[in-house]
Structure 1
Amino acid sequence: MIVKNKSLWQLGFVISFLMLFSTCSRQDTLRPNIKTQLAAFDTLTLTQPEQSLLDLDSLLIDDNLTTLERAMLLFKKGEALYLNDKYHEAYNVHLKAYALFSELKDKYNESRSLITLSGAALHMGDIETSQVYALKALHLAQLIGDKRVEGKAYNQLFSLHFKLKDYDKALTYIKATDSLYSKTTDTTSIIAIKSNVASVYLQLKQYNKALTSYSEAMSLSQSNRNPKTLVSVLNNIGYTYIEAGEYNMAETFLRGAIQLNKNIKVINAAPYKGLGSMFLLSKKIDSAEVNYIKALKIYATNNNAKEEIEVRDKLIAIAIMSGDYVKALDNQIVRDSLQLDVSRLEKNRLLDFANVNYEVKQKETEINHQKEINTRNQWLLISTVLLAVMLLIATAFYVYNTKLRAANKASKLEQSLLRVQMNPHFIFNTLAAIQNITLEGNPVKSSNHIAKFSKLIRQNFDYVRKESITLDKEIAMISNYIETQQLRFNNIFTYTIDIEDSIHASEIKVPPMLLQPFVENAIEYGLKEKKEGGNLLLKIEKEQQGLLFIIQDNGIGRSAKAKQEKITEELHATSIFIERLKMRKKGEEKTFVIEDLFDNNNTPIGTKVFFKLKF
């Protein structure tokens, strides 16, 4: 007895340890459905940004998310906001994601969040914060040995120093990025890096080196067959030639960019702006004005106020040079109005950023305060560990007993389901029908029906223990069952199975033996009393989140006598059906309806059963 108790306590400690481990690790997992949705957001963010944000918010309200799932969803939301220029919101969301990744000690995703935080801070004008985040991301990337993330951190540092006009450091960082990405197959990123290298050389007035880098980017764009990227590179080469004073070459590349834009049906103002600058520098005022006006129309259409202001400044200068002071004044009035709007937006941006900084500082204060509390409570935590272990043991036994009860309930449900599906009355009547066919001297027909009936029994026994089967197997089984019933009743009714074309029955899983009780009720209490013209319809339609099942007959209806006859058996079958749906925990039992059908004279004309299953 003592040995048994000792073994029981050892088992308890093992269970408690496993419970503790599973509780800790649960926060570190991604469920398959969440993983699939996260992958889908990469495309959705680019094609339907607003929809992706709505979908992400709907997922984030789920209280059952693990810490990792919540962190990854916040990360995706932050990226979607960042890509759509909502930098303040992206910054706040990524702060939350970063805090969760830090809690999980997920250094890879920590570094990714830090890079976006750095980018958002840079767009908001906080250079110091941007640099802190970028350097921290670089340190983490080097710590875990992830070259791709390291390259992104270097690229962020390049952007920062380029904005500061510290071109020597910017060149150092972008060359470090180039060396890390040069061995990868990510052609799109390599093209962007080559263009960034060229942009630094351009600022350093090293035009030949800039053109060499742009040429490498152009070759990659052509081999990658990415016309939009190629347009950008052509435009950059044109601007470089303008800077170098080689206007003929500049015009060739800028017009090439315009032609390529036309080929791919893209409207882009940059080449026209470049041509305007080139013609202005070469004193061709009329041509400069024409191209600046084309660029202006595109910027105005796209609500790009900053670029529109710059172009209007050029048009004002051209109008003054041409002596058209009325046109110059008109452009100046519009330009001043745009500048007021930009200044107002900038003011609001600075106010928002101040609020963000305040929230960050407040959060840091709260964290420091929490650390102090945690330090004071260490001894209290140690003293409660033993009590927690005892509670875990008790919880383990409770969970074990709960699982036993659930298994017992599932076993009883399985037995009840099999009794309902294959009741003796049905079996004996079917065998009697087959016997009559044999006595009539038709052994082939008899043999066929025996084969169908044996297959039906085998299907019932095979499927009853399974949690789910494919829809096509369920349909095959119910077809077999209906045809067996047609044999019993000498084909007094017909049946139709209508499955929507968009449903891939071999890929969709459903609980087994779900439809048979209601098909049986339709035959037993509706169609068998109808001498002719009976029809049974099984219809399956696809809905947004699942399938709609409809079982309808044109029998005599559920009369008071019929209800009385089936009150025990049908209700028992219905209760088993509802219990099976409840065990799926998707709320599907709420969709179950049995409806009596009547004609205009209130005469019963059949019964309709419908319910929904969610994917």
Structure 2
Amino acid sequence: MFWTVVFVLGFQFEMVAQQDSIVPKYKSKKAYPVKISKAADDLKESLDSNNELKIAKNYETLAKGFSNKQDFAKAEEYLKKALASYTKLNLNSDKTRVARSLAKVQESQNKVNAAIKSYEMAGAASNDKDAELINKNDANRLRNVDNPAAQMEYSKSNVRLLEKEDKKEEVAEAYKQQAEASLVQRNSEDAILNFTKAINYSKDKPEEVVKLKNEIAKVYAADNQFDKAITINQKLLDDAVKQNDFDTQIKQLQSLSTIYFKKEEPENAVASLKKAYSLASHYGKTDEVKSSLKQLLEYYKSNGKQKESMALYEDFFKNFDQLIKKDSTLIDEKTFQVTEDRIKQLEKEKQLKDELISKKNTFNYFLIGISALLLLLVGFIVKALYSIKTKNKEIALQSLRREMNPHFIFNSLNSVNQFISQNKELEANKYLSSYSHLMRNMMENSNKDFISLSNETEQLKKYLDLEHLRFQDKFDYEILIDDALDTEVVLVPNMLIQPHLENAIWHGLRYRETKGLLLLKFELNRGEISVIVDDNGIGLTQSAELKTRNQKVHQSRGVTNTKERINLLNELYKTNISFSITEKNSGETGTVVKIVFPKIEKV
């Protein structure tokens, strides 16, 4: 029964792994850091633009991100690509730096011979004597893998050189190498001393400090100094709890369980593993769930505790779906895999481009040049034709916009004349002053296709004030603006509404026997602005019966002008402006004009 449980659990974890089989696996299943995704996006752009220097830098940045994630295989892959680009560009200082970084990730993968060659390459490319010696020391240190005493001396030499250049990170790495050499020599005390020195140079890197302290704890545990090891891990656990660092908490609990098992305190070991399993399950850490679960099941098996195994099995399957949902790294890895696939595609395209460029001869360049000139000529012709077409539309739109209503001008001046003939000098002066302001506003905006809603409403209000002064016994008016509209930001078509206000007054309201109402509304509905001109005049049918021939031509031209302008605006600005005019029915007289256009804040 126990092996059935183990098999099923393993199968379920394998299913999760297969979901991302093409995705590289990481020792720490955290979400990709911003640096990696940003570097990947930058790399795509640089590959697309074929900028070799940017490509090299982005490869290096991406490799550093993977190195921090301890995915050294990926780091090595991108460092090799960066090295190739820097070599192609003949940038020795960059080549030295990247070759040394490459050697380190190769050493982390125990690729000794490859790391030696990379260290030698870094030393040969360096123009600095100290840097050259540092790389030679590292190459010789790896050559003496069976001679820890010699390795120690090379590391000590590097410490002196690196301390002089104040390279703290590399000094810490050299002390770590000395500690590892001490462990080979079974000198635990010296190893702990060197790990401690490495910690002193890594204080600005908390994660590295945690790793080094864990190494010290392992040394104590290996020497059966379990209490000292437990103290270190417990302190790291307590710090992680204070900082809400759940990944470190899980790791420390797993480390404590290992020590407790060695100390033959299985109850404490199991308790630590259960806590680690619970935390990992709660925060969607599938790798850590698997690790903790495996150790617990192994312990239960060796002690014949099948009941506990089954309980753990049932708990796992009960929370399996939630565990997968919580593990955002699965999505992060898939997302990055899509990006990486695109990078590989762009790399292939770049390689093909480079090969094509290298094989071209003078004749090919000549053909490409001729083709380019022809394409350029065609482009200029197409652009010129498009520009002419657009210009013609703009001119037509401007002409329509500037087409002043002759009835409005005539009637306005006639009203002034009427006021004067009736010795109403004050009214004439007031009317003429308002009229001149309105004309000035119209002329100032005459070259604009769109103006702000506040400007348009101000202009329309001045016009309505003029008409109201002339026909104050015939109508009142009201302008309503939706509170959701920012009148200073929202743009509306210029001079598109005024002709319909004029039609409403001159062909509808002024023929009423009683005082009418002209309502102008601006409404926002689902990202569209509706402009409604609503009057309770005599309506379209009765108005048509009263019109003179000139009036019919005027109103027809006003509607036609609106439709032509809307068509041109839709073509030029890719908008979707609509226009409709309807007559009221059901016993109510009047006309409703509706103009609908998308909310525009920038042209």
TM range (shorter): 0.5 to 0.7
Distance 1:299 1:489 in 2: 81
Q: After superposition, where does 1:93-172 map in structure 2 within 5 Å?
A: 97-102=45-50, 105=51, 107-108=53-54, 111-112=57-58, 115-116=61-62, 129-136=77-84, 157=102, 160-161=105-106, 164=109
Distance 1:382 1:281 in 2: 75
2:253 is aligned with what amino acid?
L
Could you say which structure has the larger radius of gyration? 2
RMSD: 5.7
The yes-or-no answer on 1:297 pairing with 2:278 is yes
Shift in Å, 1:551: 2.1
Instruction: Say which of 357, 360, 363 aligns to 1:375.
Output: 360
TM norm structure 1: 0.59
| C-alpha contact (below 8 Å) 1:429/1:488 kept by paired residues | no
Distance 2:354 2:586 in 1: 75
| C-alpha contact (below 8 Å) 2:529/2:596 kept by paired residues | yes
The yes-or-no answer on 1:453 pairing with 2:435 is yes
Classify 1:372/1:252 alpha carbon distance in 2 versus 1 (closer, same or farther; 3 Å): closer
Shift in Å, 1:318: 5.2
1:455 is aligned with what amino acid?
H
The yes-or-no answer on 1:612 pairing with 2:590 is no
The yes-or-no answer on 1:413 pairing with 2:394 is no
| C-alpha contact (below 8 Å) 2:240/2:248 kept by paired residues | no
Shift in Å, 1:128: 5.9
Residue-by-residue CA offset, 1:74-127 (whole Å, 9 max, x unaligned) = xxxxxxxx97699x999999886554221xx47426642675489789969567
Tell me which residue corresponds to 1:537. 520
Shift in Å, 1:581: 1.0
| C-alpha contact (below 8 Å) 1:114/1:134 kept by paired residues | yes
Shift in Å, 1:605: 5.9
Distance 1:162 1:542 in 2: 65
Residue aligned with 2:536, SS: coil
Classify 1:595/1:429 alpha carbon distance in 2 versus 1 (closer, same or farther; 3 Å): closer
Classify 1:271/1:392 alpha carbon distance in 2 versus 1 (closer, same or farther; 3 Å): closer
Which protein has greater RCO, CA pairs closer than 8 Å, 6+ apart? Answer: 2
Residue aligned with 1:538, SS: strand
Distance 1:160 1:477 in 2: 72
Shift in Å, 1:309: 1.4
Instruction: Say which of 550, 560, 566 aligns to 1:578.
Output: 566
| C-alpha contact (below 8 Å) 1:594/1:609 kept by paired residues | yes
2:360 is aligned with what amino acid?
T
The yes-or-no answer on 1:256 pairing with 2:239 is yes
Q: After superposition, where does 1:45-124 map in structure 2 within 5 Å?
A: 97-102=45-50, 105=51, 107-108=53-54, 111-112=57-58, 115-116=61-62
Residue-by-residue CA offset, 1:544-594 (whole Å, 9 max, x unaligned) = 5xx5232231434862465783553123322332244134341x24x4131
Tell me which residue corresponds to 1:270. 248
Q: After superposition, where does 1:339-418 map in structure 2 within 5 Å?
A: 363=348, 367=352, 371=356, 375=360, 378-379=362-363, 382=366, 385=369, 389=373, 396=380, 400=384, 403=387, 406-418=390-402
Classify 1:522/1:258 alpha carbon distance in 2 versus 1 (closer, same or farther; 3 Å): farther
Classify 1:551/1:235 alpha carbon distance in 2 versus 1 (closer, same or farther; 3 Å): farther
Distance 1:239 1:527 in 2: 90
Distance 2:273 2:176 in 1: 23
Residue aligned with 2:515, SS: coil
1:164 is aligned with what amino acid?
Q
| C-alpha contact (below 8 Å) 1:90/1:120 kept by paired residues | no
1:132 is aligned with what amino acid?
K
Residue aligned with 1:306, SS: helix
2:563 is aligned with what amino acid?
S
Tell me which residue corresponds to 1:43. none
Distance 1:237 1:124 in 2: 19
Distance 2:211 2:419 in 1: 87
Classify 1:412/1:426 alpha carbon distance in 2 versus 1 (closer, same or farther; 3 Å): same
Distance 1:391 1:532 in 2: 67
Residue aligned with 1:215, SS: coil
Classify 1:113/1:214 alpha carbon distance in 2 versus 1 (closer, same or farther; 3 Å): closer
Shift in Å, 1:494: 1.6
Classify 1:289/1:517 alpha carbon distance in 2 versus 1 (closer, same or farther; 3 Å): farther
| C-alpha contact (below 8 Å) 1:108/1:141 kept by paired residues | no
Distance 2:481 2:343 in 1: 62
Shift in Å, 1:498: 0.8
2:235 is aligned with what amino acid?
T
Distance 1:334 1:196 in 2: 46
Residue-by-residue CA offset, 1:453-478 (whole Å, 9 max, x unaligned) = 22211111111123544443233223
Residue-by-residue CA offset, 1:183-238 (whole Å, 9 max, x unaligned) = xxxxxxxxxx99999799768564324433553245xxxxxxxxxxxxx6896687
Distance 2:426 2:268 in 1: 93
Distance 1:363 1:83 in 2: 28
Q: After superposition, where does 1:331-346 map in structure 2 within 5 Å?
A: 331=312
Distance 2:103 2:341 in 1: 24
Name stretches of at least 5 consecutive residues in structure 2 with no aligned partner: 1-29, 123-130, 132-166, 181-190, 221-227
Distance 1:608 1:512 in 2: 16
Classify 1:465/1:407 alpha carbon distance in 2 versus 1 (closer, same or farther; 3 Å): same
Classify 1:396/1:83 alpha carbon distance in 2 versus 1 (closer, same or farther; 3 Å): same
Tell me which residue corresponds to 1:54. none
1:207 is aligned with what amino acid?
F
Shift in Å, 1:526: 4.5
Question: Identity of aligned pairs, percent?
Answer: 17
Residue aligned with 2:472, SS: coil
The yes-or-no answer on 1:215 pairing with 2:197 is no
Shift in Å, 1:539: 0.9
| C-alpha contact (below 8 Å) 1:518/1:609 kept by paired residues | no
Tell me which residue corresponds to 2:499. 517
Classify 1:468/1:440 alpha carbon distance in 2 versus 1 (closer, same or farther; 3 Å): same
Residue-by-residue CA offset, 1:379-416 (whole Å, 9 max, x unaligned) = 26526856875785687577557645654553343233
Shift in Å, 1:289: 3.3
Residue-by-residue CA offset, 1:240-269 (whole Å, 9 max, x unaligned) = 6644644435423422321332xxxxx825
Residue aligned with 2:246, SS: coil
| C-alpha contact (below 8 Å) 1:596/1:606 kept by paired residues | yes
| C-alpha contact (below 8 Å) 1:466/1:512 kept by paired residues | yes
Shift in Å, 1:293: 2.2
Classify 1:210/1:323 alpha carbon distance in 2 versus 1 (closer, same or farther; 3 Å): farther
Tell me which residue corresponds to 1:483. 465
| C-alpha contact (below 8 Å) 1:517/1:573 kept by paired residues | no
Name stretches of at least 5 consecutive residues in structure 1 with no aligned partner: 1-81, 177-192, 219-231, 262-266
